[in-house]
Copies of this chain bind each other. A is one copy, B any other.
Amino acid sequence: MSDVQGYIDREMHRFQEELFEFLRIPSVSTSSEHTSDIRAAANWLEARMREAGLETEVMETQGHPVVLGEWRGAPSGAPTVLIYGHYDVQPAEPLEEWHSPAFEPTVRDGNLYARGASDDKGQLYLHIKALEAHLKGAGSLPVNVVVLAEGEEEIGSPNLLPFVEAYHQRLACDAVVISDGSMFAPDLPSLLFSLRGLAYFEIHVKGPRGDLHSGTYGGAVVNPGNVLARILASLKDETGRIAIPGFYDDVMEWDPATRDAIRSLPFDQEGFLKEVGAPSLGGEPGFSHLERVWIRPTCDVNGFLCGYTGEGAKTVLPSRAMAKVSFRLVPRQTPDRVRELMEEHLAQVSPPEVEVRLVELYGGRPWKADPEGEFFEAAKKALEDAFGTPPVLAGEGGSIPIVVDFQEILEAPVLLMGFAPPGANMHAPNEWIPLAYFEKGIRAVASFYTEIGG
């Protein structure tokens, strides 16, 4: 192990310089003008993975390529770990809000600012460097590894699931490790025990053929705007609980130990309220703040539009109204079942004077870890070694649908260990990561392999 950590000590400066190079490539996956940058990032990454000691391949998909790296020289019987990450980034706009250029990595106060610093180039690259530290510092790894780096995460990974299905034998592993999130608090690492799923819909209400004069027709023609408001209001009761019949039937009640653990986490309610800037916080009665965002489902209006919304008064009775509504799901719920419940509910609450149409835009299942076993224990120990404090078990309110797919297709537990700082400005201007977290991440991941092999 001293070989490995010693290698990291000696090469840390070069590791950082390489990360800067990686971050300078504007590999924005959503924009066709960056297609060659995506390709350049894939090739650059492949070359560094090869130099680190992996066998590599840039594999084509229907979209941006996957970079695969493999090392299968571990002693017989040693486990195989799959590392997933992505080399594409979000657009950098609005550019004028960056204090230094988005694709010119800049260090201020020990923090590295650049698009992709945390999401996910910085976190993907620390994994590559941890592998290199073993392979070059100690000559081998105690485990077999497969690195799967995709270039379409920021556009919803349209080709990842087909890829995993097609290559599931080559990707076969005993554990999946993903670093694409944040630590629970500054200097406090975490391992995730859950992710929420998502069911995202549009509701369309159509009344008269065209917009009407609200004076001439108002009172005799049912208004799609009023109807949609009533439908949206019917989705939750006045306490904030979801009022769709049957919605909670599949919602898992968590064990008291987990709920106690969540409640005991150091959460700064006042700081959160200040950050959010709302008059006050709210949510489902009987649950703490972190429970509300981690282990309880939601129903949120994401947007709505109807009629005239410009300046002044236009006396229009609108022809149609639409809303985007999404539900965050928790274990045992499925997007399919929620769609069925929504359809049944809308049939109940929709008046006959309008047409109501439900469109499902997107669905992703929730995920729950079984945070036990050798890999979790090894991860806990490794994170404590690197950060000087044991990780907390944390939930995540957002959704990463591929996690469920990995777990099911590869039949392996998934470890989500994020090294981004809270408030990393992922998807926003001035994205950053402390250089210390980049280094501690390398050390933690390197220790993780040592722990598994030990």
Question: Which of A221, A317, A398 has its CB near the most chain B CB atoms (within 10 A)?
Answer: A221
Cβ-neighbour of A233 out of B217, B230, B352 (below 8 A):
B230
Contact indicator per residue, chain A 261-301, by CB within 8 Å of chain B (1) or not (0): 00000000000000011111111100001001100111111
Q: How many chain A residues touch the partner (CB < 8 A)? A: 81
Nearest CB on B from A270, distance (A): 14
Cβ-neighbour of A305 out of B207, B208, B220, B305 (below 8 A):
B305
Cβ-neighbour of A293 out of B217, B225, B292, B312 (below 8 A):
B217
Q: Is the beta-carbon distance between A220 and B289 smaller than 8 angstroms?
A: yes
**Whole-angstrom distance between the alpha carbons of A315 and B398 in the complex?**
9
Q: Is the beta-carbon distance between B278 and A353 smaller than 8 angstroms?
A: yes
Residues on B with C-beta less than 8 A from A226 are: 232-233, 235-236, 299-301
A454 interface contact, C-beta 8 A: no
Nearest CB on B from A157, distance (A): 14
**Whole-angstrom distance between the alpha carbons of A280 and B289 in the complex?**
45
Q: Count identical subunits in the complex.
A: 2
Q: Is the beta-carbon distance between A218 and B314 smaller than 8 angstroms?
A: no
**Whole-angstrom distance between the alpha carbons of A230 and B305 in the complex?**
15
**Whole-angstrom distance between the alpha carbons of A221 and B302 in the complex?**
13
Residues on B with C-beta less than 8 A from A280 are: 352-353
Nearest CB on B from A233, distance (A): 4
Are A307 and B296 also in contact (CB < 8 A) when A220-B289, A276-B221, A354-B279 are?
Answer: no
A326 interface contact, C-beta 8 A: yes
Nearest CB on B from A242, distance (A): 10
Nearest CB on B from A344, distance (A): 18
Q: Is the beta-carbon distance between A307 and B318 smaller than 8 angstroms?
A: no
Residues on B with C-beta less than 8 A from A309 are: 303-305, 322, 324
**Whole-angstrom distance between the alpha carbons of A296 and B298 in the complex?**
39
Question: Which of A213, A301, A306, A316 has its CB near the most chain B CB atoms (within 10 A)?
Answer: A301
Residues on B with C-beta less than 8 A from A398 are: 213, 215-216, 315
Nearest CB on B from A284, distance (A): 7
**Whole-angstrom distance between the alpha carbons of A217 and B297 in the complex?**
12
**Whole-angstrom distance between the alpha carbons of A15 and B214 in the complex?**
35
Residues on B with C-beta less than 8 A from A256 are: none
A246 interface contact, C-beta 8 A: no
**Whole-angstrom distance between the alpha carbons of A232 and B234 in the complex?**
12
Q: Is the beta-carbon distance between A208 and B278 smaller than 8 angstroms?
A: yes
Nearest CB on B from A299, distance (A): 7
Nearest CB on B from A213, distance (A): 7
Nearest CB on B from A330, distance (A): 10
Q: Is the beta-carbon distance between B316 and A209 smaller than 8 angstroms?
A: no
Residues on B with C-beta less than 8 A from A355 are: 279
A1 interface contact, C-beta 8 A: no
Q: Is the beta-carbon distance between A220 and B302 smaller than 8 angstroms?
A: no
A115 interface contact, C-beta 8 A: no
Residues on B with C-beta less than 8 A from A397 are: 215-219
Nearest CB on B from A254, distance (A): 14
Which residues A78-107 have CB closer than 8 A to chain B? none
Nearest CB on B from A85, distance (A): 20
Q: Is the beta-carbon distance between B326 and A214 smaller than 8 angstroms?
A: yes
**Whole-angstrom distance between the alpha carbons of A240 and B219 in the complex?**
9
Nearest CB on B from A362, distance (A): 4
A200 interface contact, C-beta 8 A: yes
Residues on B with C-beta less than 8 A from A38 are: none
A141 interface contact, C-beta 8 A: no
Known: A226-B235, A230-B233; 7 extra A-B contacts, CB below 8 A, are A207-B279, A217-B397, A218-B298, A225-B304, A229-B301, A233-B233, A314-B324
The 24 sampled A-B contact pairs (Cβ below 8 Å) are A198-B315, A209-B276, A209-B278, A215-B328, A219-B284, A220-B281, A220-B292, A221-B278, A221-B281, A221-B283, A222-B281, A222-B283, A225-B302, A229-B233, A230-B233, A230-B236, A278-B354, A279-B354, A281-B353, A302-B316, A302-B317, A303-B307, A313-B324, A313-B326
Of all A-B residue pairs in the complex, the 5 with the closest CB atoms, nearest first, are A209-B277, A215-B398, A225-B301, A303-B307, A229-B232
